[in-house]
Chain A
Amino acid sequence: MNILFLILILPFVCGAIMFVMPLKFKLLQNLHIFLSIIVSALLLCAVREVIQGVELSAFHHFIFLDSLGAIFLSLIAITGLLVNIYATTYMKWELEDGHITLSEVKNYFALSFIFTWTMSLSVVCNNIAFMWAAIEATTLASVFLVSVKKDKNSTESGYKYIVLCSIGLAFALYATILLYSAANGKIEGEAMLYTNLLANATSLDPMALKLVFIFALIGFGTKAGLAPTHTWLPDVHAEGPAPTSALLSGVLLKCAMLGLIRYYAIVANGAGFDFVQNVMIISGTLTLFISSFFLIRQHNVKRMFAYHSIAHMGVIAFGLGVGGAIGLFAALFHCAAHSFTKALAFCSTGNIAKIYGTKDMTKMGGMIHIAPLTAVLFGIAICSLVGVPGFAIFVSEFLIFKAAAIDGSYLLMGIFALALAIIFIADFSHFFLATFGKVEGKVVHNDEMKFSENIPLIALAILIVAFGVWQFDSFTLLLNESVKSIMKQ
């Protein structure tokens, strides 16, 4: 059986199984972990086949898996698995504290598989309209992962999430229709397949492609959290449970970015790289500065990380804007680096909220004495987020500087350095506030979490350091192949 066919059904079946399970927490917890491992193993098997050079496609090329898709599928598999494992611990705490019912926990576990299914679908779609439908479906599948509770804040975040993302993505659908209309009859084969559009990009009307890219940027940019249509993101990331925020920031934003990258590739090859690079530089710069401005003012730890997500989407956009082989490599690497880092960051906020009973960093302090391992994990996330050498994000940010330097774009280097400096100062001041000094508020849980509860976070921290100091050949191969496919070399 084609592995892509399995990807299309297995996560959905897992979600359905979870829905019909009896309300026994231990059973739900173990089954959730077991099924998450099975799904992730399947996704990684597909990625391995791509690394080995196998061309995966099914249903007359309606779905496929290329090296670009394989990068993002591996993020769904790895980050998704670790966050799902952590989710079982987090939900146990929520259940013990009476914040949530067992029925809501079951629905949460079931929906997280449906969410994984929609994200995987968005990555393997070759048909651009179906890719849009899958990305829209990710919003629908994750609304009740965000809005788990039925209180005011939870409902408000769910409302903002579905409304703003749906409006934004409507523009992406218009981009899809326009692209199809511009290509239909002018290229050989089905005009809705990404592979055909990319192969025949030079036959397409450059003016049409430029309009398509603007629409796609508004649409997928909204979902990816690019300014100025990022406003849903801080509310949703800050209000949802920690594992949901980790999944949204670590994986979902990247799936939307993949949609944009696919349009970037088609338009760049049809209308020229200069156009898409200029647009992405403007978008990236705007996103970086708006997010860093708001970042300084945040005292809610989850809201701070939410603005970080926006900032790092800005970094990816900036990398695509700087362009060239190195710039594109850096942007794609940043997707992975940010995925691991932000998953760790949001999961550590789960621990922090457990300790202090609040997300307000001004009421924290002394975490290093109360929960040293959590403090170290939180520190690793912060160090990676601000681009400290030795951590994953440093690699991509350094490569963006390198790409700009090779291109002689010193102004871009200056802009990028300034934005990163603001983020650096804001982050470390917040980190010191929460971690060192005296406890400013009350401590609800005056102890470190159990080691077994911290295992997914430790695994994420190891990945962040490993990607910061080591070059993984198979991953580098995927990145290089993806850059070649975007640049059609």
Chain B
Amino acid sequence: MTHLIDIITVLMMGTSLAVFGLRKYKLSIAAYALQTSLLVIVFLLLHVKYGAHELLIWAFTAFVMKVVFVPLFLLKLVNKLGVINEDEPVGGFFISPVVALSFSLAVSMMFYKVFIHFSIFKDALPLFAASFIFMIGIFGFILRNSFLKQILAYCLFENGIHLSLALMAYNSHELVEIGILTDAIFAVVIMGILAKRFYASYESLDTSKAINLRG
């Protein structure tokens, strides 16, 4: 069981790089849907392993909201805006993933050793993966200029947090998970509306053009 969780979380790390690095929006969204499906499987495996019924509820809500709703919402947004490829990120398409990968690995190496000290789940690899996905999400915000890619980056670090929550605090009240998930869904929807407005104002999703308010 533990090995299976290890393998799935490593796959999640791979998908987070795909979400970050793929230029085509639709492929990037598909990679996110795949990653969230893997997250749901981790919830189910942890439910079987620990018998925590909260994780079953988490798996169900995460499936409905994150595997189905969020990707569909983002696909609809992409179709509506008629965008295909993302705008040039900071440092270019090659440098940007290299920087994100190396820094995320370095930070995760530091974090997971701390997390394992407190975590209920004592396996190192999933904890490492959780911090890695979170950091890739953070670097997505810093390095990718596209508004849509930044929404996906938000979704990524939110997946990282959910994985951490499942590994480190799976027996917390189910309302906690629902509260956090509800926030995440609303955040994605609101960012989506703002992305539409942004596109209407700037005729692009390139956030580096938003420099009117500096000083």
**A interface residues (Cβ-Cβ under 8 A, vs B):** 62, 127, 129-130, 132-134, 136-137, 139-140, 143-144, 147, 150-153, 155-160, 162-163, 166-167, 170, 173-174, 177-178, 180-182, 184, 190, 192, 205, 208, 211, 234-235, 238-239, 297-298, 303
Contact = CB atoms under 8 A, between A and B. Distances in A.
Given A151-B201, A208-B117, A208-B118, 10 more contacts: A129-B179, A129-B180, A167-B157, A170-B134, A177-B161, A181-B119, A190-B173, A234-B213, A235-B213, A303-B215
A156 B212 contact: yes
Interface in B172-192: 172-173, 175-176, 179-180, 182-183, 186-187, 190-191
B183 A140 contact: yes
A157 B210 CA distance: 9
B128 interface: no
Contacts of B215: 234, 297-298, 303
B179 A181 contact: no
27 contacts: A130-B179, A136-B187, A137-B186, A140-B186, A144-B190, A147-B194, A147-B197, A155-B194, A155-B197, A155-B201, A156-B212, A160-B210, A160-B213, A163-B150, A170-B134, A170-B138, A174-B161, A174-B164, A177-B161, A177-B169, A178-B115, A180-B169, A184-B120, A184-B169, A205-B118, A235-B213, A297-B215
Nearest to B183: A136
B114 A150 contact: no
Contacts of B190: 140, 143-144, 162
B126 to A, nearest CB: 14
A303 B138 CA distance: 28
A133 B179 contact: yes
B169 A150 contact: no
A180 B179 CA distance: 16
Contact of A167 (B117, B141, B172, B173): B141
A144 B191 CA distance: 11
Interface-centre pick from B117, B120, B158, B202 (highest chain A CB count, 10 A): B117
A143 B161 contact: no
Contacts of A177: 161, 164-165, 168-169
A170 B157 contact: yes
A150 B183 contact: no
A261 B164 CA distance: 24
Contacts of A150: 197, 200-201
**Interface residues of chain B: helix, strand, loop or mixed (majority):** helix
Contacts of B173: 62, 127, 129, 190, 192
Interface-centre pick from A136, A155, A162, A178 (highest chain B CB count, 10 A): A155
Interface string B103-137: 00000000000110111100000000000001001
Nearest to A158: B194
Contacts of B191: 162-163
Contacts of A166: 154, 187
Contacts of A211: 114
Contacts of B115: 178, 181
A156 B168 contact: no
A153 B118 contact: no
A9 to B, nearest CB: 16
B179 to A, nearest CB: 4
B164 A137 contact: no
A143 B194 contact: yes
B37 interface: no
B171 interface: yes
Nearest to B157: A170
A57 B170 CA distance: 25
Nearest to A161: B194
A143 B190 CA distance: 8
A157 B172 contact: no
A19 to B, nearest CB: 16
A139 B190 CA distance: 10
The 9 closest A-B pairs by CB, nearest first: A133-B179, A181-B118, A235-B213, A129-B176, A156-B210, A181-B168, A136-B183, A180-B169, A152-B201
A404 B164 CA distance: 41
